[in-house]
Amino acid sequence: MKIKLLGKNLDELRQIVAQEGLPGFAAKQIAQWLYVKKVRSIDQMTNLSKGARAALSEKYEVGLVEYKGLQISSDGTKKYLFPVSCCHKRRLNAGCDGTTAETELETSAVEAVMIPDGDRATLCVSSQAGCHMGCKFCMTGRQGFHGHMSAADIISQFIAVDESDRLTNAVFMGMGEPLDNYENVMRTIEILTADWGFAWSPKRITLSTIGVLPNLKRFLDECRCHLAVSLHNPFGPERQSMMPMQAAWPVQDVIDLIRQYDFTGQRRVSFEYTMFAGFNDSKVHADALVRMLKGLECRMNLIRFHKIPDFPYETSPDNIMENFKNRLNNQGIMTTVRASRGEDILAACGMLAGQHEDR
């Protein structure tokens, strides 16, 4: 099995060209072919000599994962299905260099969603096949965990979609908890923001998390991208009944950590709040949120809940959401109701399941 070049950063490409006896500058040339010109094969890297291409091709391949399914919503949202191969090493966080024998790989599938909005085209990407976190309102959480996606798998979503050259923004809000697959997600962000890579500003990228505390601190220290936190309830026991990981990483501790960082400049923090009728949409909840977030420069996004099977709650009615929004806005928390996109193709928040013929 060949090693994928995709997902390698410049330092790793330098090591590869040194091992293959190629000149040092070839590393930057390969990065350009991978991340700017987005070629599908080593043979297309035409400013490398024929001999260099042949030598590289013996051990390496580009390794782009092409999408295998596409659904288009009546509102223009597109949902792409990607096959991913998960190995037990990735699942155990034991490190995987992409050379695990094919017989040991398990096939799974993830989804990426492209959301058009005027001049903007935002890609919502997945970072894991399934998810460990077990949030009860989420179709991804329902299916359990199948494996971490490699950086090659994650970056493939950006290259393989039809809109690759006109994407304006990215949100790590698809399948999986990005801070549970820290190394591969950070490697992807490095490729997206480096001048030898996609050369995007970090302002174009938002990472969404339930608040995996140790890695959240690393993220806040190491990365300048925007942060979104899945809050959903200000009261610990109620939040834990929907989000079991509240027991490990209480939301109050997450807020206390976030308060130690500056969000008055370019980096923003926002909170996601899915509204369940009769569960978390009362005035008491709104006022508790105000107390919890007082003085923090942040935004709140209220999200309609999309009904999933065997789950007792419905979304809050529009008038309740409006009142909740106004109550937060009136007390200084900048709040909007997020428009629901791609509901008819099961592409909206919490609906991604990686529909796959094996599943």
Residues with a known catalytic role? 111, 349
Residue 145 Cα distances to 223, 243, 311, 339, angstroms: 26, 15, 20, 29
Instruction: Name the residue nearer to ligand SF4 (CB basis): 138 or 151.
Output: 138
Euclidean distance between CA atoms 172 and 1, whole angstroms: 29
How distant, in Å, are the alpha carbons of 33, 46, 152, 219 from that of 13?
12, 17, 14, 24
Residues whose CB falls within 8 Å of the CB of residue 41, separated by 6 or more in sequence, listed in order: 61, 62
The minimum distance between CB 11 and ligand SF4, in angstroms, equals: 31
Q: Which stretch binds ligand SF4 (CB under 6 A): 169-177, 217-225, 295-303, 308-316?
A: 169-177
Question: Angle at the Cα of 120 (from 114 to 124), degrees rounded to 5?
Answer: 30
Contact with ligand SF4 (CB under 6 A) among 22, 113, 135, 275? 135
Q: Is 133 in the site for ligand SF4 (CB under 6 A)?
A: yes
Q: Is the dihedral of CA 168, 13, 218, 141 positive or negative?
A: positive
Stretch that binds ligand SF4, among 7-15, 80-88, 175-183, 216-224 (CB under 6 A): 175-183
Q: Which of 251, 253, 248, 180 is nearest to 218 (CA)?
A: 180
- Cβ neighbours around 247 below 10 Å, total: 11
User: How far apart are CB 230 and ligand SF4 at their closest, in Å?
Assistant: 6
What are 169's strand-pairing partners?
Answer: 122
* Euclidean distance between CA atoms 44 and 36, whole angstroms: 13
Q: Which C-beta is closer to ligand SF4: that of 14 or that of 306?
A: 306
Q: x/- binding map, residues 189-228, to ligand SF4, per CB under 6 A? A: ---------------------x------------------
- Nearest approach in angstroms of CB 183 to ligand SF4 is 18
Shortest spacing between CB 109 and ligand SF4, in angstroms: 15
65 binds ligand SF4 (CB under 6 A): no
What are 128's strand-pairing partners? 148
Number of residues that bind ligand SF4 (CB under 6 A): 12
Check residue 342 for interaction with ligand SF4 (CB under 6 A). no
Q: Quote the crossing angle between the two packed helices 251-258 and 283-293, to the nearest 10°.
A: 40
Element (H, E) at 289: helix 283-293
Residue among 39, 62, 131, 228 that touches ligand SF4 (CB under 6 A): 131
Q: Is 185 one of the binding residues for ligand SF4 (CB under 6 A)? A: no
Q: What tokens appear for 186 in the block? A: 């950070």
Q: Does 156 bind ligand SF4 (CB under 6 A)?
A: no
- The piece of 134-142, 162-170, 257-265, 340-348 that touches ligand SF4 (CB under 6 A) is 134-142
| Rounded distance between C-alpha atoms, residue 288 and residue 234, angstroms | 6
Residue nearest to ligand SF4 (CB): 141
**141 lines the binding site for ligand SF4 (CB under 6 A):** yes
Residues 221-260 that bind ligand SF4 (CB under 6 A): 230
Confirm or reject binding of residue 112 to ligand SF4 (CB under 6 A): no
> Per DSSP, what are the bridge partners of residue 229?
209, 271
Separation between Cα atoms, residue 191 and residue 151, nearest integer Å? 9
Question: Out of 7, 98, 176, 342, which residue is the one contacting ligand SF4 (CB under 6 A)?
Answer: 176
Contact residues toward ligand SF4 (CB under 6 A) are: 131, 133-135, 138, 140-141, 175-177, 210, 230
